[in-house]
Copies of this chain bind each other. A is one copy, B any other.
Amino acid sequence: MAVRAAVAGASGYAGGELLRLLLSHPEVEIGALTGNSNAGQRLGTLQPHLLPLADRVLEVTTAEALSGHDVVFLALPHGQSAAVAEQLGPDVLVVDMGADFRLKDAGDWERFYGSPHAGTWPYGLPELPGARAALEGARRIAVPGCYPTAVSLALFPAYTAGLVEPEAVIVAASGTSGAGKSPKPHLLGSEVMGSMSPYGVGGVHRHTPEMIQNLSAAAGEPVTVSFTPTLAPMPRGILATCSASARRGTTPDAVRAAYEKAYADEPFVRLLPAGQWPATASVYGSNAVQVQVALDEAAGRVVAISAIDNLTKGTAGGAVQSMNIALGLDETTGLTATGVAP
């Protein structure tokens, strides 16, 4: 029997990617699609690539529109998910693709988001230690941020294996879809093509506390994170270049072994053969993660790099993967397509 899924926020990039994936999911039937400013419009206008849904019309996001589904995905501006979730009943699986329920520390939430903390839901990054178990049977899931997904998967094995010091320096390049579909001058094609530029520099990006939360949990002690996001001239993809000081005695073999162990059985994370490095093009449109790691002995740092598609593994693919776990489906259902390259 099909899982009936509703999508609140179907006109944006996260919602569109989710629908693309759900169209290929053999167990899911797509139910209500809602939006706010775009309610009443055909999806064919808003998401012209989703041809099978072209004639569907967006409803206004209300509890009524979203009721009667097994799963409700929320792709809403931050601060809005709690009110919707409350009205959906405890048996409905609510998957929040926004930030509201990711952070455990209310102070962090308030400092970075400037609004009251809504709570903490099971965290939808199954590859983290203990995360998969918390998702089994869950009825509320907080999908991780795109940058924390890429960064946590690049670095946590080095922390769990005790190979690095509790400080990480991260520079990540993201495709422009990570900045959303709301038109702003600096996101115009004319501005972004041919340009690399940083933003949110100096510890102010909202994904910083989420990275700290994940890496500190892996390390078993507080980890400081210097995080610089940059905007790259491509629609999709995150390349996260992460490093941390190697602990005395850390060897290349120990580093390799830690990552091999962490990812031996993970269906979506591919530790590349030595000498091959991740590329965002290789995971374009796919839920796959490419990871590679090296020990720079002269600089005394472990350098770990991951590539994901920010909209797939970084948002909607991660959401479907977690939904699969929560519902007891095979974790890879509907997510096996490889990257579209070149």
A338 touches B176 (CB 8 A): no
How many whole Å from A41's CB to the nearest CB in chain B? 12
CA distance A302 to B318 in the complex (A): 33
Tell me the bound Cα distance from A50 to B13 in angstroms: 25
For residue A296, which residues in chain B have a CB less than 8 angstroms away from its CB? Answer: 201-203, 226
Interface residues of A in 220-266 (CB under 8 A from B): 224-228, 230, 232-237, 239, 241, 243
Q: Is the CB of B273 within 8 A of A44?
A: yes
Taking a contact as CB atoms under 8 Å apart, the answer to whether A49 and B169 are in contact is no
Contact residues of A between 187 and 229, Cβ < 8 Å to B = 187-199, 201-203, 224-228
How close is A201's CB to chain B, nearest CB, in angstroms? 5
Query: Is A117 an interface position by the 8 A CB rule?
Result: no
Cross-chain contact of A193 among B171, B235, B297 (Cβ < 8 A): B235
Report the minimum CB–CB distance from A114 to chain B (whole Å): 17
Query: Which of A235, A282, A300 is most buried by chain B, counting CB atoms within 10 A of its CB?
Result: A235
A317 CB to closest chain B CB, in angstroms? 12
Q: What separation, in Å, do the CA atoms of A155 and B167 have in the docked complex?
A: 20
- Say how far A54's CB is from chain B's closest CB, in angstroms: 8
Chain B residue nearest to A208 (CB atoms) is: B298
Q: Is the CB of A44 within 8 A of B276?
A: yes
Ranked 6 nearest A-B pairs via Cβ: A195-B281, A189-B192, A202-B294, A171-B171, A197-B279, A183-B183
A-B CB contact pairs (8 Å), 24 listed = A20-B340, A48-B279, A48-B282, A49-B340, A169-B226, A171-B241, A175-B190, A175-B194, A176-B188, A176-B190, A187-B190, A188-B188, A189-B193, A189-B235, A191-B281, A194-B237, A195-B237, A195-B282, A201-B303, A202-B294, A224-B298, A227-B299, A230-B241, A337-B337
Q: Which residues of A contact B (CB under 8 A)?
A: 13, 16, 20, 23-24, 44-45, 47-52, 54, 167, 169, 171, 173, 175-177, 179, 181, 183-185, 187-199, 201-203, 224-228, 230, 232-237, 239, 241, 243, 270, 272-273, 276-286, 288, 290, 292, 294-301, 303, 305, 307, 336-342
